[in-house]
Amino acid sequence: MVKVRPVMPASRAVSTSEPGGSALAELVFAPLEAHVFLRYLLGAEPPAEVVERYRAANEKLFAEPASAADARLLDYVTRRPWALPMLDAAAAFRRPDSLLRRKLLVGAAVLEATPDFTARFLPQAVSVPRLVLRGALLGLSVAFKLVVGLILLSMVEAGGDER
């Protein structure tokens, strides 16, 4: 049977201001980050209008300095976009409240509310065999990214990011 999960109000559940944030972490928005994140979500170069909206959202939502851990993770994926799918998988599993996940979610929200991309976010009905097949493929893809991502995440957390 399912488990009960008591939930705290957002203000108490999330802390974005642990001590030790680096100067880099003070950056609320970096154009490179916007391109890397939105390209990852979209699979294509994002239109300028979407980048601008993502920038505005960052300014409003992430005004507080990031923690050192969050800043390190953001820096890592921005410099190595190939690692983003894996680290997203690992963060979703192990650090769902991380700044990386929150920024990606903002990116997804911005895309979902843009008419050119809404179709990707509307429900899709498929036959049972196709559902099973697509479910299995998605499961495999997630499993692979999660395994690699968890290794990468422990490296980043341990500061194993030699530039």
In the complex, the smallest distance separating the C-beta of residue 157 from other proteins, rounded to whole angstroms, is 18
Q: Are 157 and 100 in contact (CB under 8 A)?
A: no
Find the helix or strand (DSSP H, E) in which 76 lies: helix 68-79
Contact residues toward other proteins (CB under 8 A) are 1-11, 13-14, 40-41, 43, 53, 56-57, 60-61, 85, 88-89, 92-93, 96-97, 102, 104-110, 112-115, 118-128, 131, 134-135, 138, 141-142, 145-146, 149
The CB-of-66 to other proteins minimum distance in angstroms stands at 14
Q: Of 23 and 44, which CB lies nearer to other proteins in the complex structure?
A: 44
Smallest gap from residue 96 Cβ to other proteins (A): 7
As a whole number of angstroms, the distance between CA 61 and CA 34 comes to: 15
Nearer Cβ to other proteins (4/158): 4
Least distance (Å) between residue 135 CB and other proteins = 7
DSSP string, 95-155: -TTSHHHHHHHHHHHHHHTSGGGGGGGS-----HHHHHHHHHHHHHHHHHHHHHHHHHHHH
Per-residue tokens: 143: 């499993």
Q: Collapsing DSSP states into helix, strand and coil, what is residue 36?
A: helix
Q: Is residue 97 within 8 Å of residue 14, measured between CB atoms?
A: yes
Q: Report the C-alpha gap between 160 and 55 in whole angstroms.
A: 29
- Residue 26 Cβ vs other proteins, minimum distance, rounded to whole Å: 19
